[in-house]
Structure 1
């Protein structure tokens, strides 16, 4: 049990060879995200994005290190992983993030794409405060960008929360957990209705939820 718990622990310590301010590997992670995402990851034009700290307010990168047992060799050596949660840019009230993962069994870091439900719904009128029917998932798409993302080290789960407008009355939120080298969607919830909530309208809809 102790060995299993140790394998699941995550830390936010700098990677070997890094400085406290600029961990090793961050430049490569930035280059991968910029090359793949173009202007969607211009990092607000900053020459050097700071590392996360108490004053960064989300306009910063974070680096996490952890180890895991690969599914193809559960009795073998742990795989060492470095996860880069990158600041890609911001709008009026949302921050765009990309995630790059580097593992000890792969020479090249990879940009992570996240499964996202394609939700079908329609409003009863132009007020957009009530749906005609329960929303349904008509498929899934992949996105390399998350919004207002964070990483929970204990559960190894990435979460996102998108405000559809500044006051945040309409929104969507997702959770993806790390399983043997990949991030798997486990929950997606959204509130597509605007304005003050009506008493007979659900506060939000959970359109996808999987076992953890």
Structure 2
């Protein structure tokens, strides 16, 4: 785990070296996230979180700007958007992120809630390396925190990857794409097994994929 932390910290250092001036809307975005999430977005107690740059990951904020035309008003003016990716805090091997969206047609920045599958599965053994059956989606919930998140500006897609423990043998990963002013879940994958995996079982399970 110490090695993993060292790699993570080293990866974050170049991001912090790219630190830029804080954009005007950042304080309002931070206030929205802190008010909604409380201790879950304490930003590791930092008085001022550095800007990490538009392509960086790690212990810093990032802001992305783009414009779009909603499907319901294709002949109207383009909407200007600012997407704030906020560093909310970190544990031993995961970084928590919140996202706040500010658009030109809304005076108030909005904390984004992400749809997340609620899974039903069970283990055959105490080591939790075998499943009784493949995971099933029993519903959906919403979360305002993603883990180890990244934003792809070309596809306007946010992705997350959560390590369930330090060595990363069990994990889940999601993708949410921007449509008409909000982010829609398009894919969610999970590997809930630990240790030596059953060779006859899939390495992971895609439990939700849009259009399938």
**What band does the TM-score fall into relative to the shorter chain?**
0.7 to 0.9
1:130-209 equivalences in 2 (<5 Å): 130-209=130-209
Partner of 1:133: helix, strand, or coil?
Answer: coil
Match of 1:24 in 2: 24
- 1:58-107 per-residue CA deviation (whole Å, 9 max, x = no partner) reads 10000000010112211111000000000000000000000000000000
Mapped to 1, the partners of 2:190 and 2:132 lie a distance apart of 16
TM-align CA RMSD: 1.6
Q: Which residue of 2 aligns with 1:114?
A: 114
Aligned to 1:98: 98
- CA deviations 1:174-208 (Å, max 9, x no partner) are 00000010100000000000013331121000000
Task: Tell me the distance in 1 between the aligned counterparts of 2:125 and 2:186.
Answer: 32
Structure 1 residue runs of 5 or longer lacking an equivalent are: 1-18
Q: Quote the Cα distance in structure 1 between the aligned partners of 2:169 and 2:135.
A: 17
SS in 2 for 1:202: coil
Asked if residue 82 in structure 1 is aligned to residue 46 in structure 2, the reply is no
Q: Quick check: which one's helix share is greater?
A: 2
TM-score, length-scaled by structure 1: 0.88
Q: Tell me the CA shift for residue 150 of structure 1.
A: 0.4
Cα displacement (A) at 1:123: 0.4
| Structure 2 gap segments, 5+ residues each | 1-18
- The 3-state SS of whatever aligns with 2:129 is coil
Partner of 2:9: none
- After TM superposition, where is structure 1 displaced by more than 3 Å over at least 4 residues in a row? none
User: Which residue is equivalent to 1:58?
Assistant: 58
Compute the displacement of 1:211 (Å): 3.6
